[in-house]
Structure 1
Amino acid sequence: MNRRTVLVRLAASGFALASVQGLIGFGSARAVETDSNTVLNDPEAPTAGNPKGDVTIAAFLDYNCPFCKKAAPDLRRIVKTDGRIRLVYKDWPILGDASVYGAQLALGAHYQGKYEAVHHALMGLPSLRIPKDKVLQAVQAAGVDMARLQADLDARADAITALLRRNLAQADAIGLEGTPAYLVGPFRTSALNYAGFKQVVADARARQAAK
């Protein structure tokens, strides 16, 4: 299942792609102009780090992506150690139905303030293509109220689906080809380690200072 197939499954009739344009080459990352209202400041998208940070990282991730899982500890580390990064999670479930299920669980947990706990729990699993009860055990072990989670999944299903549609549409409009994908200030890049995150954040700050 590719990103366009998932987009078709989630998109409502007449759903329009978000307007995100302007990719140009720049070093090991690509400079990118984004519509901050649709990509960086979606009020429904979970965030972490410093809400007033001077650099924003928008992380397009899939819970079945091995590269996302490999980079997750270093992404978490750079946000914590830097102290001036705002992180926006863009759930982009492109690797099958299990990916969609994982994204729904994480976003459902957001309503009880447990998005990050579930996010880290799911990133810590080797795959979501295991029995669902094993996935749910990991979510419960993260401190989630499971009865409330189910209630929120039922009551907020339309809102969760709408957010996934927006994330998928934005990724499609930007031209992202796979996960992970990170927008770091004006740059677009993919799988990174801690040193890579540190460098691209420094590059983003340097670009801002040069304006």
Structure 2
Amino acid sequence: MSRYTLPLVVVLGGLIGAGAVWSSERFTSPGGADRARIERVVHDYVLSHPEIIPQAMQALQERQSGETVAANRDAILTPFGSAWAGNPKGDVTLVEYFDYNCGYCRASLPMIADLLKRDPNLRIVYRDLPILSEASRTAARASLAAAQQGKFLGFHDALYAGGPVSDASIKGAAAKAGVTLAALDTGAIDGEIAKNMATAAKLGMNGTPSWVVGNRVLSGALPVEELEKAIAAARGK
């Protein structure tokens, strides 16, 4: 029997009329001959329609990630200081987990700017996720210091515009944004980084950029149209 059979009984039972017993509150698992008959029907249906397997697994993954987002909503949606952009009262929040050394994060900058222009009801929250190098962590600490001082976006743009991340480019971006690195609150900042790391692990993120919108978790440098679809879906709910 396929390892997909039992989960797909629930997914497909109503669709194929397999005789599964439903109530308004729960699914009652059949036994004996009925169970064997249902498994055979599902087995034959899956062999005839193998395309439903990735569809069903994707639906399961999205449901699980949605539950994780709901359980960690404050840690995801509440910005650290001024690490946000767009409409502060926007009806949808798009969260980006990023690393300053990530080329795909850099490539996503025009797309984010485009989204903000297109959608006046969108809020974006930026979450530092320094996973690529020690320089990434140094940059994240400076970024979060800027957020504490209400100067996140100025530092964020200046550091990306300053080329490869280095001690010199970090200090240069801080000077340009008016950020005082000597005032860096290491306790709160390191706590924020640790929280972001823990939340990203719970959400199954394994790279940057990663995104959360509504109850969905997305990965990679995505086309603006794909993020717009996710935003529209979140708005529709």
SS at match of 1:108: helix
Summarize the Cα distance change of 1:100–1:38 in structure 2 as closer, same or farther, 3 Å threshold: same
Q: Which residue of 2 is the match for residue 163 of structure 1?
A: 192
Q: CA deviation at 1:110?
A: 1.6
Q: CA deviation at 1:39?
A: 1.6
Q: CA deviation at 1:125?
A: 3.8
Structure 2: segments with no counterpart, 5+ residues? 1-56
| Superposed counterparts of 1:139-150, under 5 Å | 139-141=174-176, 143-145=177-179, 149-150=180-181
Q: Which residue of 1 is the match for residue 115 of structure 2?
A: 78
Summarize the Cα distance change of 1:120–1:42 in structure 2 as closer, same or farther, 3 Å threshold: closer
- Please report the TM-score for the alignment, with normalisation by the length of structure 2: 0.67
Q: What is the CA–CA distance in structure 1 between the aligned matches of 2:80 and 2:108, rounded to whole Å?
A: 25
Please report the RMSD computed on the Cα atoms of aligned residues, expressed in angstroms. 2.1
Higher relative contact order (CA 8 A, sep 6+): 1
Q: CA contact under 8 A between 1:69 and 1:124: conserved in structure 2?
A: no
Q: Which residue of 2 is the match for residue 194 of structure 1?
A: 224
* Greater per-residue helix proportion: 2
Q: What is the CA–CA distance in structure 2 between the aligned matches of 1:126 and 1:102, rounded to whole Å?
A: 13
Q: Which residue of 1 is the match for residue 233 of structure 2?
A: 203
SS at match of 1:87: strand
Q: What is the CA–CA distance in structure 1 between the aligned matches of 2:207 and 2:109, rounded to whole Å?
A: 16
Q: Which residue of 1 is the match for residue 206 of structure 2?
A: 177
Ranges of 4+ aligned residues in structure 1 off by more than 3 Å = 29-32, 42-45
Structure 1: segments with no counterpart, 5+ residues? 1-23
Q: Which residue of 2 is the match for residue 21 of structure 1?
A: none
Q: Among 59, 64, 72, which residue is 2:96 paired with? A: 59
SS at match of 1:51: coil
Report how many aligned residue pairs link the two structures.
Answer: 174
